Amino acid sequence: QQIFLRYQQLIKDNLKEISKLITFEQGKTLADAEGDVFRGLQVVEHACSVTSLILGETMPSITKDMDTYTYRLPLGVCAGIAPFNFPAMIPLWMFPMAMVCGNTFLMKPSERVPGALMFLAKLFQDAGAPDGTLNIIHGQHEAVNFICDHPEIRAISFVGSNQAGEYIYERGSRNGKRVQANMGAKNHGVVMPDANKENTLNQLVGAAFGAAGQRCMALSTAVLVGEAQKWLPELVDRAKNLRVNAGDQPGADLGPLISPQAKERVCHLIEKGVKEGASLLLDGRNIKVKGYENGNFVGPTILAKVKPNMTCYKEEIFGPVLVVLEADTLDDAIELVNKNPYGNGTAIFTTNGATARKYSHLVDVGQVGVNVPIPVPLPMFSFTGSRASFRGDTNFYGKQGVQFYTQLKTIISQWKEEDATVTKPAVVMPTMGN
């Protein structure tokens, strides 16, 4: 606990430097990179006070002279596999919670953005962590297979694509490991006609295009209900005003995609959406950024008149693309969301409490925001994505995180008041009363 108290202060002291490193490697804006570090820091701060969640349970005198104790113990060696899009936050979801529970940890960053984790690991060492308690491994498929197969690794935390997550969950589970895997998403923002229009449009634009859409909680799908469908031109106007530039440039709202391959895939899905009948209201494919003409930039893009059978709706685009669907009623919107296989997050925009309550309770999604576009819980709660967005039994951080990184041991003891010397052997099955 004392190590983590020192560690969180070191992260605060070096937050700007870590953020610059993230922007240099990953491309996101400096403001977004600072948020990346800060949200991870919150988990470290929570880890400093998590000891109350590790407490066991006891029941004295369950029968005469007999007590039962349950202890929460560390698993041993745990491992984490992080994606490229949050080089600081996601590792900080993992190893602080595991290690404050008493485990050692093996962390694999994305091979595209290793720098931030190496910096964080050095700070952890500076905070006084014993050698060998936090270990970093670099690599691609071979490193992943090593983590999934090594017999001494007891648990794996993963965040990334569905293809990789399903593979890691299946291979790790087959080898007897606990696995928690946060994967892809198609997060819907349902806009009711009674919503606060100005606030809602701004929230949609920010949540759809921030981080260039490269986040599993991006609000990548808007469902306009009834009269809210008339707001579409204003939504397009707001998206047009976003500034695309290198992440370290002043005033940039979104930076480039992570690679040329990512840009090619996003552009392909936009083109496929148009071919399948969607209306391209805003096209960011041909954007040019001065000084970075060969950069992996895609500007804000909006596809309207999208249908559930279209590829641009069925697949997670993972870029600055908002697909817009229409619904006549709230019930239609709920049905639409529930038929989508993903269950990471959703939001409803409304000024009606009954509408919000109905949506929150009937929608089959793990995290629901009411006038909150990206409902990522603070660390005292847990990240609770569901359905095709998650594999495993226990979610990340908070109380769920403690449960994932610990195991229970129960001890039943009896100390009789009278002389404990046994006068003759007991040859019958023991019962709780004898």
Active site residues: 216
Adjacent-strand bridge partners of 391: 181
CA distances from 178 to 68, 95, 158, 173, 297 (A): 27, 15, 11, 6, 38
Output the DSSP codes for 11-37.
Answer: HHHTHHHHHHHHHHHH---HHHHHHHH
- Contact assessment for residue 117 and residue 84, using Cβ atoms and an 8 Å cutoff: no
Q: Exposed (0-12), middle (13-18) or buried (19+): which is 371, by Cβ within 10 Å?
A: middle
Q: What is the arrangement of strands in the sheet containing 104-108, beginning at the earlier edge strand? A: 134-136, 104-108, 77-81, 153-159, 178-182, 390-391
3 state SS of 405 = coil
The C-alpha atoms of residue 302 and residue 323 are separated, in whole angstroms, by 6
Residues 6+ apart with CB under 8 A from 362: 334, 338
Residue 74's CB: how many other CB atoms inside 10 A?
18
DSSP 254: B
User: What number of residues does the chain have?
Assistant: 434
The C-alpha atoms of residue 191 and residue 175 are separated, in whole angstroms, by 45
Residue 140: HSE in the Cβ half-sphere, 13 Å Cα cutoff: 1
Q: At what angle do helices 30-47 and 2-13 cross, to 10 degrees?
A: 170
Sole residue written with tokens 């007891």: 154
The C-alpha atoms of residue 115 and residue 11 are separated, in whole angstroms, by 15
Residue 38's CB: how many other CB atoms inside 10 A?
15
- Contact assessment for residue 306 and residue 188, using Cβ atoms and an 8 Å cutoff: no
C-alpha closest to that of 271 among 300, 242, 240, 311: 311
State phi, psi for 344 to the nearest 5 degrees. -75, -60
3 state SS of 204 = helix
